Structure 1
């Protein structure tokens, strides 16, 4: 991945931040995106303002943001080799309490953000007859939990899983690989945002009896970015979450 160009959305914190850090260390050219410029700039500075990285703040649910990311990547690094659609929001809410604005939030950021950004990078990948698109889903799409009602965000994530397979079919002839990473419980700021004070208390949801770390998602993303014969797949990085539980 040295000198390959990677666009990463939601790169200022949590999983996206770790993925950006990982690819920068591997000497990839990284274009970082997040909705809040202050947080994005802070992360960039924390990384040491690396020469092989640039950043652009913007609402990923807006097509104009995706176009700006593509323009920036091509201007600075000439190619777009990998897109990692990490930006997203997620929070539990009982089905009967979900309002229209809830659905609009998740579909706008999670699905439309992934859709529009992918739509923006595909032409460049077709031109070079090579590319890798990595979407971030969740194991909860295939493994629902009664005590964690999240129908609103899960409908958007489920759509991303379906989009992955369809795009893999449409663009396989162009040597564009499209895959999804479905994380289990990962130690990140998201846990506290959704009211989980002790993420380790959820270790029993995984057969390995521990929660995951952000670097483990970054490692999976790097693998998929370099894998030339994997497409249309959903890779669970979840310690056995979908197989069974350690109680």
Structure 2
């Protein structure tokens, strides 16, 4: 159906895992251009080789000056940004007694402030143009918490709160700017593939559907919220977790 035809999309953390699946989905749906943002330049080159409508861009979501420069370049070339997916995220897990201030700050800067930075730079273009879609990637950990992830849980819970706030802010003067979030459960990614089989088995037992999710299944949910098929949905958190019981 080519439901992204003509759209200018930006996906952070777009070189691997869930982000790569989102980039792939939007590129296959004939977006005009998908900017895959990541710190991994080599991985971005591989994505660019596969899709003619994907542009890799090495960018740190904590670097506000670089973000400003990137957004100005996109606006000058296309005059708009239709879709922003805030997916970039990191983990530095530890029980709170052992969590260093450095690990707390690092995760908050990327996962929470990074989402703020990207949205603050791009949302005004959407509001000015009268339309746009923002999808923030949260987590089941942001909804329910998780042992050893105080910093990560705080950021993903904060992403949900920002989603609700921005849905109200960005549409209050009549602009059709929708803001939603997707909260994935336990998903197969390069990160989870490194976990011991015993740990993965224990995780799977908590999932009603009896398996871990695929990154493409998260991408489908993100794509739905970013598409016109979700035109009357804003301020919503879509949980994609297979019925995980915590």
Going from structure 1 to structure 2, the CA distance change for 1:207 and 1:37 (only over 3 Å counts) comes to same
Residues 167-206 of structure 1 mapped to structure 2, 5 A cutoff: 167-173=166-172, 174-192=175-193, 195-197=195-197, 200-201=200-201, 202-206=203-207
Q: 1:94 matched to which residue of 2? A: 95
- Over 4 Å off, 4+ runs: 196-200
Kindly state the Cα deviation for residue 200 of structure 1 after the two structures are TM-superposed: 4.7
Where structure 1 has 5 or more consecutive residues not aligned to the other structure, the ranges are none
DSSP-derived class of the 1:51 partner? coil
CA deviation string 1:180-224 (max 9, x = no partner): 10000000012145x445675221221111110010011001100
Structure 1 residues 71-80 or 114-123, which shifts more? 71-80
Q: 2:45 matched to which residue of 1? A: 41
Going from structure 1 to structure 2, the CA distance change for 1:157 and 1:40 (only over 3 Å counts) comes to same
Residues 98-177 of structure 1 mapped to structure 2, 5 A cutoff: 98-145=99-146, 148-173=147-172, 174-177=175-178
Kindly state the Cα deviation for residue 90 of structure 1 after the two structures are TM-superposed: 1.9
CA deviation string 1:163-182 (max 9, x = no partner): 11111111123221111100
How far, CA to CA, are the matches of 1:199 and 1:129 in structure 2?
A: 47
Q: 1:56 matched to which residue of 2? A: 57
Tell me how many residue pairs correspond in the alignment: 237
Give the TM-score, by structure 2 length.
Answer: 0.90
CA contact (8 A) 2:37 2:57 kept: yes
Going from structure 1 to structure 2, the CA distance change for 1:6 and 1:105 (only over 3 Å counts) comes to same
Structure 1 residues 95-104 or 33-42, which shifts more? 33-42
How far, CA to CA, are the matches of 1:51 and 1:39 in structure 2?
A: 15
Q: 1:4 matched to which residue of 2? A: 7
Give the TM-score, by structure 1 length.
Answer: 0.90
Residues 80-91 of structure 1 mapped to structure 2, 5 A cutoff: 80-91=81-92
| Alpha-carbon RMSD | 1.7
Kindly state the Cα deviation for residue 78 of structure 1 after the two structures are TM-superposed: 3.2
How far, CA to CA, are the matches of 2:5 and 2:242 in structure 1?
A: 29
How far, CA to CA, are the matches of 1:166 and 1:21 in structure 2?
A: 29
CA contact (8 A) 1:180 1:235 kept: yes
Where structure 2 has 5 or more consecutive residues not aligned to the other structure, the ranges are none
Going from structure 1 to structure 2, the CA distance change for 1:24 and 1:179 (only over 3 Å counts) comes to same
